[in-house]
Amino acid sequence: MAGAIRRMLDAIVETRGKKNPLLRRTTRTKLILAGLNPEKFDASSPDDPTLVARVYAVAAEYGVIVEAP
């Protein structure tokens, strides 16, 4: 299913951000530093299995549970 990476990254930002704009920006910055820029993915982006695994690893590191694609 296309766009799963973007949905997973959005879930990480939403969960860690807790409706606080500063926490959302910080989380996005940490994702970019981890090599996962949320702006590079959209709803039609193909789901590369290695990137999906990387997003799972980052989510686990942040203590966030994300849905499987």
- pTM of the prediction? 0.85
Q: What is the DSSP letter of 36?
A: -
Inter-residue contact 28 to 38 (CB < 8 Å) = yes
pLDDT, tens digit, for every residue of 12-54? Answer: 999 998 889 999 999 999 999 999 999 999 888 888 889 889 9
| pLDDT given at position 1 | 61
